[in-house]
Amino acid sequence: MLDFMRELLKVDTGREQTNFENVGVFLHYARKYNLYPEFLTISGGVNEPEFEAEGRTLIQFGANNYMSLSEEPAVKAAAIRAIEEYGIGPGGSRLMSGNIAIIEEVEGRIAALTGMEDCLTFPTGYMANVTVFQTVMNPVMGRLPYRSQDGVIFIDELVHGSAADGCRLSGVRTVKFKHNDLEDLRAKLRENEELTNKLIVTEGVYCLEGEIIDIPAYVEVAREHEAKLMVDDAHAIGVLGARGGGSPDHHGCADGIDILMGCMDKAMGGTGGYLCGKKDLIDLLRAAANSSVLSSALPCSMAGAMIAAIEIIQQARDRREDLARKSRYLRQGLQHLGLTVLGPDYIPSVPLFVGDEALGVAFAAGLRDRGIFCPVMRWPAVPLGKARLRLSLMVRHEQRHLDALIAACGEVGRELGVAIG
Ligand SMILES: Cc1ncc(COP(=O)(O)O)c(C=O)c1O
């Protein structure tokens, strides 16, 4: 990255550049340093274990469709029924064109699934995260007399970019703590003890680190320091907890979480985001969150589909166990080859560490030559020099898919000098 920035800054055409010239320069260096992502066009089998692209069949290890609900007949049928009943679009923002019964219903179902009191949905998780900080850290919310300097957000340094964007947009001072380091968090809270409006932000599952976070420990720290706690549970909903209710269900700690954020495009198989919390807080968001007030609601087809997905998730203990078993098998298979798999937990996202960006790109290309698709996660999604392949598992992956992946990783790893075994 440093080389990338250095080269960018060195560029001197001897005259002032227009923005568009800078775009070209940026693209040139992003490509030169292997930071520009490749966009694969899929023509069939979207979200399925095998899909069509570039005139051939590839095995999918990049999709977040953990529970294989995206193509589940009952979920698709529910989406079609909702279109027939409610039409294609929500008609605008809920404030302008009215609340729609099926959207309120899915919100009630998400609240019940997670064990939280109330819920508000958005068309994407990104929209939920960019709006929440601005709304809840607003000076009106703090103890009066209140100044915006009295608010501070403590975020884990590896929190998703959408939450980091939301913090920036709020204009509230944001302090990063070391990833999942409670002592560092405590020290930073102590430095800001006198402030009245403190919010701690972490994720329930870090999919790029292969980790389930001990959320009850954060609940305790938040209580010790009179701070509020927000958990981005995008990768936990559906796969953690006996009922699939994510971190609050898995750890039995719904009471200690003030804001639970989640996404519907991972285990739930659809698209959309949500914020859950106490009824008053969600009422505030209903009236004041810009992503809801100034933007269209979730499409009704998605609300219908997600109600059906939740019904399956609640009963799908066998699917969760299957994913954990596959995760263990894949981790052990890769480790046996001498490859580095990050994190200790058996979650359906298995991060295979490569390091160098160019090596990551070559690794993904090698897998693709062998009929396997998995994108490389690299800066800015992860720090520079820490590229990794995020191998995503789905319920519908078969044993032969896993074995093909492990064999291909072994071959590519040896070819590139990544594997030791
Ligand atoms: C942890 C986390 N939070 C939020 C988001 C944003 O969600 P969405 O894709 O629904 O916009 C993502 C997306 O991948 C995510 O991984």
Q: Give the burial string for 322-353 (b: 16+ CB within 10 Å, else e).
A: bbbebbebbbebbeebebbbbbebbbbbbbbb
**Average pLDDT of 179-193?**
97
122 CA distance to ligand 1 middle (Å): 12
C-beta of residue 289 within 8 angstroms of C-beta of residue 135 = yes
Instruction: Return the C-alpha torsion angle 317, 320, 325, 330, nearest 10.
Output: 170
23, two tokens: 């775009």
Report whether pLDDT(345) > 50: yes
Q: How confident is the model at residue 19 (pLDDT cuts 50, 70, 90)?
A: low
Q: How confident is the model at residue 379 (pLDDT cuts 50, 70, 90)?
A: confident
Helix/strand/coil for 420: coil
Domains with residue ranges and CATH for the chain: 34-67+317-416 (3.90.1150.10), 73-314 (3.40.640.10)
Choose between 194 and 12: higher pLDDT.
194
How many Å apart are CA 305 and CA 13, to the nearest integer? Answer: 54
Residues with CB under 6 A from ligand 1: 124-126, 129, 160, 162, 203, 232, 234-235, 263, 265, 273
**Average pLDDT of 180-189?**
98
Report whether pLDDT(6) > 80: no
280 CA distance to ligand 1 middle (Å): 25
Report whether pLDDT(69) > 90: yes
Report whether pLDDT(2) > 70: no
How many Å apart are CA 231 and CA 205, to the nearest integer? Answer: 9
End-to-end CA distance of the chain: 30
User: What is the C-alpha radius of gyration for the chain, rounded to an integer number of angstroms?
Assistant: 22
205 Rama sector, left if φ>0, alpha if ψ -120 to 50, beta otherwise: beta
CA of 263, closest atom in ligand 1: 10
Look at residues 410, 364, 398 and name the one whose alpha carbon lies nearest to residue 62.
364
